[in-house]
Structure 1
Amino acid sequence: MPNSDAIRRRAFRRTDDYTPGTPKVKLVEEILPPLGPTSVLIKVHAVALNYRDANIANGGNPWPVIPNGILCNDAAGEVIAIGDKVKTLEVGDRAGPITDTENISGREISRSWLAADEDGVMADHIVFDENVLCKLPTYLDWVEAATIPCAGVTAWSALKGMSIGQTVLIQGKLTPKSASIKERKANFRVGTGGVSVFALKLAKAAGLRIILTSSSDAKLKQMSDKYPGILTLNYSTNPEWDQEAMKLTGGEGVDIVVENGGTGSLVKSLKCTRRGGVVSQVGYLSKQDPADLRELVPTIIDRRINLRGINAGSKHDMEDFCAALSAAQTGLHDLIDKVFPFEQAEDAVEYVWQGKQIGKIVLRL
């Protein structure tokens, strides 16, 4: 293996035991994948979790996953070895993989998601082709940098096209605490999670007017204290929150919605978006019921809404995002909720599964 003596790694693989109370990941030691001519070996320093990871570990992913795969798709690490044909990275560079390894330019017709179609990054060493790796900003620490590939790039892609002075509504969805295990496995469940908080921070930095929704007054207050000037809506105590959002914008509607809910909130998101505005669908966190979409077609036509699906983003998106962060020297420490040691990966997965986080959960190696 060129430039490195590392031949084995520690990794957390899923147990695929979905029984409540049983471990969802298992620490294993295994031989590293071979280093091909265009491959890069990275020593991982931090791994960030998304609710997607906890959902996959608990059997709730709506798409097939490989058996006992390595969890997680967000990592930041140091290049310690490269194949003899690698041109874009050097030993010592800071790098991480994109979430969809088929999505380079955004025009590809196929997809392959880390931690689902292929192994993820919850390991102390990872090997990827240089084509799916991006350099990470050098001014960030490892924990901050690990939040970029999925949550960060998703938020960046969801806000694409916004301009100073426009209004964005950002959903922080929460499945009711009374939801059954079956419901929680079938639907994402988050607090004010990574994408929402990342989008809020980016929107504020870009000079946008922000409306944040949640079902928790405590979380809304915490976010208001942390980011003064944002407007908040509790969709649990204000079931007609779309009408409240319209009032907050003088009856015009918001310019863009970062939509997390799916069928349970999509029509209301459309109704509170201005005519010709944008709804970026980044998730489906609420209970999914097609009956909630009865008004979808007439609403989307009437309001001329541009509804776009966001699946993280392309490699080009991640490169653009990292360039923007570096240019502004934007700190991301305020996005971090809690840092766990790598060895406590099981505890971190459960913490996210319970929806306790306000921001990002990260494993430090």
Structure 2
Amino acid sequence: MSLPKTSRQYYLPQLGSFQNLAVQEVPVSAPKAGEVLVKTHAVSLQYRDLMVPSGAYPLSLPENLVPCSDMSGEIIAIGEGVKGWTVGDRICANFMIDKIHNGSPNDEALGGSVHGVLTEYRTFPAQSIVAIPDHLSYEEASTLPCAALTAYNALLSGIEPTKAGDTILVQGTGGVSIFALQFAVASGATVIATSSSDDKLKVATKLGAKHVINYKTTPKWSEEVLKLTNGAGVDRVIEVSGNATLGQSIASIRKGGNIDIIGHVGKADDVKPVDIIFPSILKQINIRGIYVGSVVQFKNMNKLLAANADKTRPVIDKVFSFDDAKKAYAHLESQAHVGKVVIKV
């Protein structure tokens, strides 16, 4: 099989907006020793992909960054010394290319500190890829590297993994939150889901949430959480909004409960920073920052997906063509989506 000579890819010639995304054609090289060359089939977007082009991402970026971190594709060539992979294998790349084990300190993340995956072809270190579960399409599999793995890490790794009978509070219906809902349900936990949209809450209910709260009509939703748990509070909060909701998350948690800090998508301009020290001590809360996950966790998560195919199938809101990538970004920015926004390459 002859290799492609060029690859079309998006890049950011300057920061300020995703509207600055431009397309360029670059040469394709054969994979080096220890690498595989992959044809990209699908890329999914996440909130970070809005932060990066806007200039709001807090880490340094390479010039002319190729954006996005979450992809699925097909191996089309294998470098010297690579074992365990063959041409035609369907794969995803891990969000952090060198984070093999849970304790790995490296944080070279695709679409951030290193060039990303919004490209037709790309090489990856063979150790940084995982096989796609057989029952998933390329579009579905592209949602796994960040959103799914972050949710899996929060719920099923760490000091106190989620178990059957726990009660989990999931904020919103974005990618991480939907996967957290699905993984919690698959684990036998009870889920309370929040959203500003009754229509989105209907989707959450269909996916297995036992209780739903519209935080627009119930702004003090932590009080409703306490009512639903007979005053005890939930075992875990999947915190994706940051300071906008952290105070209510602390109010919602039980003594000794867990708050997994994942993002700050909430608009908190008029919210004072939350003093977490005193309440955390009094309630003995475990607060853990989650930065996606490792290759080992990815492989373990895929076992869960395969074993619970119906309950954990990725929820895709809309699929855009490669040429319509900017429209995909705009749809993500609108927050009209439930689940993931995908670009088919």
User: TM-score, with normalisation over the residues of structure 2?
Assistant: 0.93
**Cα deviation, residue 35, structure 1:** 1.7
* Aligned equivalents of 1:288, 1:108: Cα separation in 2: 32
Structure 2 partner of 1:267: 247
Structure 2 partner of 1:43: 39
Cα distance change on mapping 1:255 and 1:323 into 2, 3 Å: same
Indicate conservation of the 8 Å contact 2:193/2:209, yes or no.
Answer: no
Structure 1 partner of 2:26: 30
User: How is 1:51-130 mapped onto 2 (pairs within 5 angstroms)?
Assistant: 51-130=47-126
1:218 equivalent among 199, 213, 227: 199
In the alignment, is residue 239 of structure 1 matched against residue 245 of structure 2? no
* Aligned equivalents of 1:122, 1:331: Cα separation in 2: 29
Q: Structure 1 residues 263-272 or 312-321, which shifts more?
A: 263-272
Structure 2 partner of 1:163: 163
2:235 equivalent among 255, 264, 279: 255
Extract structure 1 runs of 4+ deviating beyond 4 A. 330-334
**Cα deviation, residue 281, structure 1:** 0.8
Cα distance change on mapping 1:281 and 1:4 into 2, 3 Å: farther
* Aligned equivalents of 2:233, 2:196: Cα separation in 1: 21
Structure 1 partner of 2:176: 195
Q: Structure 1 residues 114-123 or 103-112, which shifts more?
A: 103-112
* Aligned equivalents of 1:54, 1:29: Cα separation in 2: 23
**Per-residue CA shift, 1:228-286, capped at 9, x if unaligned?**
55211122332321121111101111011100111222232122111111111111112
* Aligned equivalents of 2:268, 2:87: Cα separation in 1: 46
* Aligned equivalents of 1:246, 1:350: Cα separation in 2: 37
Which letter does structure 2 place at the counterpart of 1:270? I
Structure 2 partner of 1:184: none
Structure 1 partner of 2:14: 16
* Aligned equivalents of 2:221, 2:339: Cα separation in 1: 23
Indicate conservation of the 8 Å contact 2:167/2:191, yes or no.
Answer: yes
Structure 2 partner of 1:148: 144
Indicate conservation of the 8 Å contact 2:71/2:143, yes or no.
Answer: yes
Indicate conservation of the 8 Å contact 2:181/2:208, yes or no.
Answer: no
* Aligned equivalents of 2:256, 2:199: Cα separation in 1: 34
Secondary structure at 1:352 match in 2:
helix
* 5+ long unaligned stretches in structure 2: none
**Per-residue CA shift, 1:151-191, capped at 9, x if unaligned?**
1101111111111111000011xxxxxxxxxxxxxxxxxxx
**Cα deviation, residue 315, structure 1:** 0.9
* 5+ long unaligned stretches in structure 1: 173-191
Indicate conservation of the 8 Å contact 1:55/1:353, yes or no.
Answer: no
Structure 2 partner of 1:5: 3
* Aligned equivalents of 2:316, 2:273: Cα separation in 1: 34
Structure 2 partner of 1:205: 186
Secondary structure at 2:88 match in 1:
coil
* Aligned equivalents of 1:205, 1:60: Cα separation in 2: 35
Secondary structure at 2:192 match in 1:
strand
* Aligned equivalents of 1:309, 1:108: Cα separation in 2: 15
Q: Structure 1 residues 51-60 or 335-344, which shifts more?
A: 51-60
User: How is 1:302-321 mapped onto 2 (pairs within 5 angstroms)?
Assistant: 302-321=282-301
Q: Structure 1 residues 88-97 or 251-260, which shifts more?
A: 88-97
**Cα deviation, residue 72, structure 1:** 0.9
* Aligned equivalents of 2:226, 2:199: Cα separation in 1: 23
**Cα deviation, residue 342, structure 1:** 1.4
Size of the aligned set, in residue pairs, is 340
* Aligned equivalents of 1:228, 1:113: Cα separation in 2: 32
* Aligned equivalents of 1:115, 1:281: Cα separation in 2: 21
In the alignment, is residue 337 of structure 1 matched against residue 317 of structure 2? yes
Indicate conservation of the 8 Å contact 1:16/1:59, yes or no.
Answer: no
Secondary structure at 1:320 match in 2:
helix
Structure 2 partner of 1:188: none
Secondary structure at 1:337 match in 2:
strand
* Aligned equivalents of 1:128, 1:50: Cα separation in 2: 21
Secondary structure at 1:168 match in 2:
strand
* Aligned equivalents of 1:25, 1:83: Cα separation in 2: 31
**Cα deviation, residue 331, structure 1:** 6.7
In the alignment, is residue 299 of structure 1 matched against residue 297 of structure 2? no
Secondary structure at 2:297 match in 1:
helix
Q: Structure 1 residues 130-139 or 249-258, which shifts more?
A: 130-139
* Aligned equivalents of 1:333, 1:170: Cα separation in 2: 18
Indicate conservation of the 8 Å contact 1:103/1:313, yes or no.
Answer: yes
